[in-house]
Amino acid sequence: MSLAPAAWATGVTEFPGQAPTSHVIDSADLLSRSANTELDRRLESFGGPELEARLVTLRRLDYGLSLDALGQGLLERWATAGSPDQLLLLIESQNNSAAVVASQGLRERLSPELLSSTAISTMGLPLREGARYRQASLDALDRLGAVLNGEADPGPPQLQERLPIETNIPTREETASSNALLWVVVLLVVGTLVPMITWWVFSR
């Protein structure tokens, strides 16, 4: 689904007045067609018939508007009498930031702390590691889905320690150390040879 031109800042009024039929509102064009289809199906089946889950992407926010505030505004804009609980995943590509917001009835099962941690840690990691929008969304749904199914919160993904790759190419520090050693050797050689040559010349 396409909204206002991507270069424009986005606020609540740039979105439809009624909840879209699609579960993926990719206004920033961040997802491939296959990723869009995959996420739409996953969101459609997420949580069962008593829950509507959607993913919203945008390039940048209106000045002074936070991503959480936009999400809350959309919940209110799309809420209707007797409508199911709503869950929104939001991604802003300008800062690779995310937010997760839920309607009031859903917050009894998904605490504000869980929603915040899911946005900052679960979605934030793949976003910071290379703008992996699809993976960020799937990871969030996996975590929230586990809690909704009565399982323990699996928590955010664990940061894996990255070991340095062995290479024969010297590092900047090794190069600097090698250059310093070379200068010391050159100065020692010059300091030794110059007096000897001078003595030899004048002793003839």
Residue 160 pLDDT level (bands cut at 50, 70, 90)? very low
* Closest by CA position to 83, among listed 53, 115, 116, 43: 53
40-83, pLDDT tens digit by residue? 999 999 988 889 999 999 999 988 999 999 999 999 999 987 88
Higher per-residue confidence, 111 vs 193 = 111
Whole-number pLDDT of residue 42? 97
Mean pLDDT of the chain: 85
- Of the candidate CATH numbers 3.40.47.10, 3.40.605.10, 2.102.10.10, 3.10.310.50, the domain formed by 12-148 belongs to 3.10.310.50
Please name the helix (run of DSSP H) or strand (run of DSSP E) that holds residue 55, with its range, or none.
strand 51-58
Burial class, 106, CB count within 10 angstroms (exposed 0-12 / middle 13-18 / buried 19+): buried
Distance CA(178)–CA(167), nearest Å, equals: 17
